[in-house]
Structure 1
Amino acid sequence: MGFLDTLKAKLSPAKEKVGDLAHQHGGKIDQGLDKAARTVDQKTKGKYSDKIESGTRKAKEAVERLSHKHDEAGAKDEAGATGDEAGAKGDESGTPPGTPPAS
């Protein structure tokens, strides 16, 4: 097992926890990002407004992605394989995955 594999294995529980927290507190995180952005923009007297706005938007998108990954993982755990995974396996007739059924 390589260094990156070991690192990924050790960070996996932390990633799940972060996703859970992003899901539970996404609104509060967004409010905090907005407040921080306003404060920095005021302190810099609007000089970096476009960069602050861009950074805030990207941070919010990252929180949203973490939250959705947590949602998808929970749905996958509850339902077993998702529809995409079930369809990707093909069927017993030997039809390749993604091939439409014969009419």
Structure 2
Amino acid sequence: MPLCVIDTNIPANNVPDSFQERLRNFLTKLLDKKFVTVRINNGLRMCLGGGTTTEGNIVNVDLYGEFNSSERNKEYSTAVLAFIAEELQLEEKMIAFVIHNIPATHHFTVDMLG
């Protein structure tokens, strides 16, 4: 099951209440998966680039799952960046996006272990 982790300095009260559900629904369709887990860590102390300023909103997106096609990864990256930028009203340049390829043999759910 894919996992999407978002780390951001945006305060919780500035992230729409239904954002995680809309992102989950978007990702399940985009990735053609039955389930996707979304975790949002907001209100973090962060900075971006070489400067010392923390001005502006920063979002780091880590997408974990079985992603082994560079062509599809470009498609996913473009779509996810656009979705998050629109939902959180950010410039895409303020979003860092990383796809982590984890083979199916390296992730489990409780029902798979028993």
TM-score, with length taken from structure 2: 0.23
Bigger fraction of residues in strand: 2
**Larger relative contact order (Cα-Cα within 8 Å, sequence gap ≥ 6):** 2
Bigger fraction of residues in helix: 1
TM-score, with length taken from structure 1: 0.25
